[in-house]
Structure 1
């Protein structure tokens, strides 16, 4: 009888991390894949009755609960219509190719850190034949002048709000409206990559319809910010959404049934959306406490710690979080920091950070911090205690 294959070390490490996160009693937010299959099913069964009539029939190719989610999304964003997509990647590819056909220009202006450029394996060029130009490479969204001065014509300006890979950063209102106005001056349409648009209202002090109304179309995610299982929506004029639905079918996105994702999205709209401003306020407390813990108050957002500070250099960005998410950079290898994070969870039951990834320069790693309902109970002292325990395990 042949020997059983040896366990995959990467799989074992992944399962160890999941077990550590799941077993922790203190965390800033529930993870996007927290819980076993049984736990997730039980949670959905418990929460869904308050969001939708479970005596209704399951959806078939987008009717029923999926159609109800589309109507609610359009109402929340103040758009004529919205279409549910199984992924944001598909939703944005469809939106951008529709605008290219309508404008007659297949060039899209977007940031090099935007999701389609970083995480979609060149899908825009490989699948749609679109071409991308960059108004800026600075770690922020482009200014009006940068959009206006772009050296070649473009049909669509795509803005990611917030710009995740720069640290979940948002432009101020004048910068945002200036970039939109510059695109209009160049006869271009504006598309918002609003995967996390739900989080932006507190920063701007403006409602979702005003934010979405800046653009010709907007994509929103149902699992980012809202804790749904999966799925996204493309919202905008009814004629655009109708065209997008045809392309959704061609892309293989007209799934037979999607009721688990749709139900969890409705739950997120009910439970999480109203609380996002509260989470954003707590994230400011957490970021300030981490800054103090890492640098004794002297390190700031992008300097070194004090002479007696716990780390030689760090960065927390934005210095004051714009949403309920922000990024932390530390001068250690990602593997070292991830191991310290896992050990903190295993040994103390506290999750401060989850995974770390290499940030570019050798020996520098970055982690994303999300503050949600579990984090509302954390005080600055709690953050300081967790940070001290984490740093002790780094060393």
Structure 2
């Protein structure tokens, strides 16, 4: 697809979803004017807007850092314009402190999948993989690594495996195993905010297992952009120095910081309800897909408020079916999310995010919506649909 066609499709998706009466996954995408109006209202409740804008990280940015450290129970936190930069800096700092440039992490983790090999290109770090299973490494796999490593990085949840999490007992055992290997532990907690319901532990207790934690403000919290690296004061001080070297010390960042503070006020208290409702949504989707061969809702019981849906059709066909459902019925199950080819030939996968717009959907609404979506899928098929099975795949 050319850049022009891609832009046209993106505009069509946005118009289709924003024209819907009901959107299950991810919600509608506001215009720039709507986003500015929303930010002014929400930020007014989160911070004193009569104060001056920030200058090189003071003011509202410093306040965001203070609140983030308080929520995570760490000594300090530093704001970064991107999570990629925050994580690169964290792993670089730990390599210098441990004297070991090897990082143990999952091959589906963000630095391996979405950062263009920045670990090696920018910092000279090297990665090793304790496991290739579609889950985080367990304690025995960490103990069994046949070479030393300075840092174990754990992505909580592991997005590209289906937003999956270990149990609390498994997580603590894995952390203990890393410490036995005299390694430090860093959490890629871009979506750590929604993990407490799964673990049954408060946010600060989860973050307290690691030596450092990165969190995102636009993922889950709905901010414009930005991230934070939290941990011991000495580490965060060093991270601020590297942030400057990496070009991350911006003159003013108040829009991003205000949106992050608003997200902490507005979305953080709601995440528990989103996680609970995601279980109902996933169950209803599985019921609606029960007769569809090779379909899968993964995990069958979501660990957070996000999960995957797998279907045995080309991604382009599923994208078109989603668009036509939105345009013709004013109801969208998958929102603006795209479908992508999965590892299994002939199968595609998409992500479902259960947030504010999904709370009005009952289980019956979800089952009806996915059943209707399949009708649009079959309408797009150039060949007869495969025979239905009698039992669902979880």
TM-score by length of 1: 0.93
Q: Match for residue 144 of structure 1? A: 139
Aligned length: 375
Q: Which residue of 1 aligns with 2:320?
A: 339
2:7 is aligned to 11
My pick for the range that moved more, 352-361 or 378-387, is 352-361
Contact 2:214 2:228 in 1 (8 A): yes
1:369 is the counterpart of 2:369: no
Q: What are the residue-to-residue correspondences of 1:228-243 with 2, within 5 Å?
A: 228-243=223-238
1:282 aligns with 277
The equivalent of 1:302 in structure 2 is none
Structure 1, unpaired ranges of 5+: 1-5, 296-308
Q: Deviations over 1:165-210 (max 9, x none)?
A: 0000000011101110000000000000000000000011110110
Q: Distance in 1 between matches of 2:156 and 2:226?
A: 18
| The 10-residue stretch of structure 1 (338-347 or 133-142) with the greater mean CA deviation from structure 2 | 338-347
Q: Which runs of 5+ in 2 are unaligned?
A: 379-394
- Tell me: higher relative CO, structure 1 or 2? Use CA pairs within 8 A at least 6 residues apart: 2
Could you tell me how far apart the structure 1 residues matched to 2:3 and 2:207 are?
A: 48
SS at match of 1:377: coil
SS in 2 for 1:191: strand
How far the C-alpha of 1:346 sits from its partner, in A, is 1.1
Decide which of 233, 244, 254 is 2:249's aligned counterpart: 254
- Once residues 26 and 352 of structure 2 are traced to their aligned partners in structure 1, the CA distance between those partners, rounded to angstroms, is 11
CA distance in 1, matches of 2:364, 2:142: 44
Structure 2 residue 137 is the aligned partner of structure 1 residue 156: no
Q: Which runs of 4+ in 1 moved over 6 A?
A: none
1:28, CA displacement in angstroms?
A: 2.4
SS at match of 1:159: strand
Q: 2:127 corresponds to which residue?
A: 132
Quote how far apart the aligned CAs of 1:361 are.
2.4
Whole-angstrom CA distance in 1 between matches of 2:88 and 2:3:
38
Once the two structures are superposed, what CA deviation does each residue of 1:246-292 show, in whole Å capped at 9, x if it has no partner?
A: 00000000011111111111111011101111000100000000111
